[in-house]
Amino acid sequence: MSFIEYSNLIQDGDVAIVHLGHNSVTAVKVQHGAQTQTRFGVIRHSTDLIGQRYGCKVTCSKGGWVHVLHPTPELWTVALPHRTQILYTTDIAMVTMMLELKPGSVVCESGTGSGSLSHAILRTIAPTGHLHTVEFHQQRAEKVVEEFKEHRVDHLVTVRNQDVCKDGFGVTGVADAVFLDIPSPWEAVGHAKAAMKKHGGRLCSFSPCIEQVQRTCQALTERGFEEVRTLEVLLRVHNVRPVTLQLPDFGPDSSSSSSQATEEAPPSAAPNPASLKIKTTTPPREMPGHTGYLTFATKPRT
């Protein structure tokens, strides 16, 4: 099992995603002799998981069942243990696209946090790219190193426990893209520019407050970055549901005579239905609002 390579069978030591229901998933470390408790009963790893195919339906001890899925960055985002606030798929998709990431890209990231974005970046830049990620908090840095090894992507990433605003990313002139998710990103703009390749590159800064965005944009402009723009991604999910529409009764058709209507309509013709059932989409009454502002900029070629 690897987050960047698909496997057919569940093996001892894998991290599997147990799908319990809509918006209910959990990550499980598969081990011989271990058990996982769910609301549907016990899952026994040795008999219920190991050797089974990913995507299979597993019956629990109480008779209920779950699906066991292969891990992906998207599933990990909704199943990971939160050590910090994280980026979700809506923002992650925009970040990876606007930073123009592709296989072989070299990326610098700060801070690592819970590793939600990190896994998406690694899947995008594999198999020949590399991620240099910086985390200020020592315990979080140590934990994410363990997760990268467990998920078998550690060969694609270097984790540094340091203050990016003071010490930078630990590399110079190598990055195709830089991502900043720190309280004062304007203090790291100089280090970000130094880490980027001479032929240019893209930078993204994630900030929840517009005051942070203003100071970051000013720092980017002073450092010579171009195409500075800030955007906000809002997700609006429409729900599909059946509805019954009442059909209006306009009375008889006055354009045709009663004799013609009698001749054309068969004696057993049923009257027009009074209602019609259709499927329609409706927006939610409430939707998640602001998550953060994404500021993008381009380093000019030098």
Q: Is 116 annotated as a binding residue?
A: yes
Do residues 294 and 233 make contact, with C-beta atoms less than 8 angstroms apart? yes
Q: In which region does residue 264 sit, left (phi positive, over 0), alpha (psi from -120 to 50) or beta (all else)? A: alpha
The reply, when asked if residue 114 is annotated as ligand binding, is yes
Is position 263 annotated in a ligand binding site?
no
117 is in an annotated binding site: yes
Q: What length does the chain have?
A: 302
As a whole number of angstroms, the distance between CA 68 and CA 26 comes to 10
Query: Six-digit token pair at 18?
Result: 């147990």
163 marked as part of a ligand binding site: yes
Known binding residues are 114-117, 135, 163, 181
Known binding residues for S-adenosyl-L-methionine are 114-117, 135, 163, 181
